[in-house]
Amino acid sequence: QVQLVESGGGLVQAGGSLRLSCAASGRTFSSYAMGWFRQAPGKEREIVCAVGWSGSNTCYAASVKGRFTISRENAKNTVYLQMNDLKPEDTAVYYCAARFAPYYSGPYSQDNYDYWGQGTQVTVSS
- Report pLDDT for 27: 77
Q: Phi first, then psi: what are they for 2, rounded to 5°?
A: -125, 130
User: CB under 8 Å to 54, separation ≥6 — which residues?
Assistant: 105, 106
* Calpha distance 4→40 (Å, rounded): 20
Q: Phi first, then psi: what are they for 88, rounded to 5°?
A: -55, -30
* Calpha distance 20→8 (Å, rounded): 5
Q: What are the pLDDT digits (tens) for 45-88?
A: 999 999 999 999 999 989 999 999 999 999 999 999 999 999 99
* Confidence label for 1 from pLDDT (cuts 50, 70 and 90): confident
- Report pLDDT for 25: 94
* Calpha distance 73→51 (Å, rounded): 11
